[in-house]
Amino acid sequence: MTNIAKAIDRLREERRDAQNQVQKLGEAISVLERLTRGTGATVHTAAHRAKRVLSAAGRRRISLAQKARWAKIRQMKKAA
């Protein structure tokens, strides 16, 4: 066998080993995910957060502050 053929065989062997390792890692991840789902602790807690409610007064304060910022920008444009 030539050197190139030996190199190809070695690369195929390494690829097969890498694929086996990836498969084992995938199995380990799935086992850990099943464990965390069973206890109620999940990695994706941010997606399940309760919806925040903003009061009318809070919305009004934000609105007035934004209007003030826009008014300031318009004043600066007129002055320029």
More confident residue, 22 or 49: 22
Give pLDDT, residue 34.
Answer: 87
Per-residue pLDDT for 49 more than 80? no
Cβ 9 vs Cβ 15: under 8 Å: no
pLDDT tens by residue, 8-48: 999 999 999 999 999 999 999 998 888 888 655 555 555 66
* Distance separating alpha carbons of residues 60 and 2, to the nearest angstrom: 79
Query: How much is the pTM?
Result: 0.42
pLDDT tens by residue, 50-78: 888 999 999 999 999 999 999 999 999 98
Tokens 């009318």 correspond to: 56
